[in-house]
Amino acid sequence: MPAPMNHHLRSWVDEMAKLCKPDQVYWCDGSDEERQRLTAEAVKAGVLQPLNQQKLPGCYYGRSNPNDVARVEHLTFICTPTQEEAGPTNNWMDPSEAYAKLSKLYDGAMKGRTLYVVPYIMGPAASPFSKVGIELTDSVYVALNMAIMTRMGKVALDRLGEGADFNKGLHSVRDCNPDNRFICHFPQDNTIWSVGSGYGGNALLGKKCLALRIGSYLARKEGWLAEHMLILEAESPQGEKTYVAAAFPSACGKTNFAMMIPPPAFEGWKIRTVGDDIAWMRVGEDGRLWAVNPENGYFGVAPGTNYKTNPNAMKSIEKDTLYTNVALTPDGDVWWEGKDGEVPETLTDWKGNPWKKGSTEKAAHPNSRFTAPARNNPALSDKVDDPKGVPISAIIFGGRRSTTVPLVLEAFNWTHGVYMGSTMGSETTAAATGAVGVVRRDPMAMLPFCGYDCGSYLGHWLEMQSRIPNPPHMYLVNWFRKGQDGKFLWPGYGDNMRVLKWMIDRAHGRVGVQETPIGNVPKQGDLDLNGVKATPAEVAQATRIDLGEWEQELGSQTEWFQKLGKTLPRAIALQREQLLEAVKTARKVQGS
C-alpha cells in the first residue's frame, strides 16, 4: 500500500525510520492477499512453519526466543513527568531519560530488516469509543498477529483521515537481549516504545499497552473506564438478553466464563462472547454503562484449554490461527499439557527438541499461546461490531481464594462494589513464592495494567458513580473455595451459569437478597441448583460466610492500603472500617 497523505503520520514514520534505519518501509493494508503474502514471507524466513493443513487449515506455528516467553512486568515502565503520577505499584522512568535510553537502542536496530507500518483500530470501526493506533515493527510475526487481534490496515487509515490523534507505537525485537528489553509507556504523549522482545503483550502494542495502560490514562482524562474485563451476552429461553462484564486475574477462568456453555438444567439458555479480555465502558444516553470490546481476536493461553474446560475456544482455534510455543506432533498437529486425548508418545517440544511421553519437562511452554480471529468463535455475539456497544447490567470481580470469600457476594452500593474490586486477589502457591496462601491483591485485575497511580485509579472508579444514573449491580465471586480435603467445593465451568442466572434475575428485579455484614447473598432457594455436580453440604460450604475469617481478611487489607499510600480514597478506607465494625458486632451477637 502506498504511504497515505496524512502529513502528521508520514512525518512521524519518516522520523522513526531515520532512527531505526530499516532497509525498507512497508505499509500494511490489512487485506487477505497481504496476509497470505506476509505469511509466505514468514515461512520462507523460518519465522513461521505451516501446520497440518488438513487438520488445521490456515494455521501456522512460531517459536519465540526461550528468553522471551512472557510479559516482563519488571521491565515495563510508566513514563510520566513525576513518579507520583505513576504511583507505587508501577515501575517509573523519567520520560526524557526513557526516550534517550531507548533511542540509543533503536539507533540502527532495523538495519537489514523491513519496518512494517501497522495501522489499526481498537474497537469497532464506526464506534465513537474506538482509538486509532499505529505500530511500527520489524517483526512480520507481530504484523500478522496484529492483523488478527485488531481491525488493521486501510480501515484504520480511513478512520484517522488527516487527523493527528493516534497512538504512536514503536517496536523492535532488536537482538532480543533481556539486558536491552524495555516496554515504556508515555501517557501524556500517547506513545509506546517497546524494544528487545517479540512476545505478545510486550510486542502487540494494541493489547495491554494501548487498550489498558494508555487506555486507562485516557479513560480517566475523558471520563470513561478501560478495564481488564470480559464481556458476555446471556440470552434466556424467552429471548431476553443481558450483558455483564467481569474482571478475573490470570488463571481464574476468564476466557472460560466468556465462552461458557450452560449445564443441561439450563436448556434454552445461550451464552455468547462479546469479548474475552478487555472492556471499554462509557455512560450512554440512557444513563447506563455501555461497553465495547476493543479487540478483534483472542490471544489465549493454550495449556489447560480443552473440550471440557472450553469447547468454544477449541472450535475457535481450528483454522486461521497462529500458535506460539506449543508442542508439535510428528504429523504437524499441535499439542499442549491438558489437551484432549492421550498424550502422544513423541513430540517436538516448544524449544524444538525431541520429547518423549513421561518426560519431566513440559512439552509446551506453560504460557504458550494461540492467536485466533474472533469470527471463529461459534458463540460470538452479533453485537461485537455494534458502534454503541452493549449495556452492562452487572460487573463481576473474582479471584482465586481457597477460604473466606463465598461463591457470590453482591455489593450494597457502588462504593462497596469499588471497595470489593480494590481488595480482590488470588492466593499464591509454594512454587511461585515459597509461601502458600498469601493473598496477592490485584485491584479490578488491573495491577499490571494500570497506566497511572493505583489510588487515583480507584478514585476515578468512585467518581464514575456520579456519571452513571443507572449503574450496574456489582459482585464478588469465588469459584475456587476448597473443603478440608483440599478439593474444590464448587464444580465451576458451566455450573457458573447458576450464579450468573441469579445475577441476571437481580438485574431484572425478579429476586431479592439476604443481607449479611459483608454483602448481599442469594436467599434460600434463589440459586438454581437443579442437577448441580456438588452435594448440598459442598454448596453450603462454598456459600458460607465465616465471620471469624472475615475479621482476619479485613484486618489483612491494611497492609495493601498502606502500599497504595496517600492517594487511596478515604471512602475506600472508611468502607473497610465500617465492614470490620459490622463483622465484630455480628460476632459478638453470635457469641452471646
Report whether 495 belongs to an annotated binding site: yes
Report whether 253 belongs to an annotated binding site: yes
Catalytic residue, from 28, 252, 450, 454: name it. 252
Report whether 498 belongs to an annotated binding site: no
Report whether 276 belongs to an annotated binding site: no
The residues near 588 (Cβ < 8 Å, ≥ 6 apart) are none
What is the C-alpha separation between 440 and 479, in angstroms, rounded? 17
* Residue 563 CA neighbour count, 13 Å, CB half: 16
Q: Return the C-alpha cell found at 463.
A: 467518581
Query: 274 vs 200, 243, 295, 386, 440, CA distance in Å?
Result: 21, 9, 10, 10, 29
Residue with cell 472492556: 279
Query: 341 vs 145, 306, 307, 344, 450, CA distance in Å?
Result: 28, 9, 10, 9, 40
Report whether 494 belongs to an annotated binding site: yes
Sign, CA torsion 400/403/408/411: negative
Using DSSP bridges, classify how beta strands 279-283 and 297-301 pair: parallel, antiparallel or unpaired.
unpaired
Report whether 319 belongs to an annotated binding site: no
Report whether 250 belongs to an annotated binding site: yes
Q: Return the C-alpha cell found at 17.
A: 525510520
Q: Are 290 and 390 in contact (CB under 8 A)?
A: yes
Cα-Cα-Cα-Cα torsion 79, 113, 118, 52, nearest 10 degrees, comes to -120
Report whether 256 belongs to an annotated binding site: yes
Report whether 368 belongs to an annotated binding site: yes
Q: How many other C-beta atoms lie within 10 A of the C-beta of residue 342? A: 7
Report whether 99 belongs to an annotated binding site: no
Report whether 208 belongs to an annotated binding site: yes
Q: Are 444 and 228 in contact (CB under 8 A)?
A: yes
Report whether 28 belongs to an annotated binding site: no
Burial class of residue 556 in the structure, from the number of CB atoms within 10 Å of its CB (0-12 exposed, 13-18 middle, 19+ buried): middle
- Hey, what amino acid is at 92? W
Q: Are 172 and 137 in contact (CB under 8 A)?
A: yes
Query: 366 vs 181, 299, 431, 557, 581, CA distance in Å?
Result: 22, 14, 14, 31, 43
Residue with cell 429476586: 511
Nearest to 27 by CA among 38, 43, 36: 38
3-class SS of residue 234 = strand
Using DSSP bridges, classify how beta strands 230-235 and 241-247 pair: parallel, antiparallel or unpaired.
antiparallel
**Residue 441 φ then ψ, to 5°:** -70, 140
Q: Return the C-alpha cell found at 474.
A: 456489582
Sign, CA torsion 93/97/99/104: negative
DSSP class of 141:
H
3-class SS of residue 257 = helix
Phi-psi region for residue 529, left (φ > 0), alpha (ψ -120 to 50) or beta? alpha
Report whether 200 belongs to an annotated binding site: yes
Q: Are 171 and 203 in contact (CB under 8 A)?
A: yes
Helix 570-591 to helix 454-464 angle, to the nearest 10 degrees? 80
**Stretch (H or E) spanning 270:** strand 270-275
Report whether 252 belongs to an annotated binding site: yes
DSSP class of 180:
G
Using DSSP bridges, classify how beta strands 425-427 and 346-348 pair: parallel, antiparallel or unpaired.
unpaired
Catalytic residue check, 252: yes
Residues marked active site are found at 252
Which residue numbers belong to the known binding site for GTP?
251-256, 369, 400, 493-496
Which residue numbers belong to the known binding site for substrate?
71, 199-201, 250, 367-369
Which residue numbers belong to the known binding site for Mn(2+)?
208, 228, 277
Which residue numbers belong to the known binding site?
71, 199-201, 208, 228, 250-256, 277, 367-369, 400, 493-496
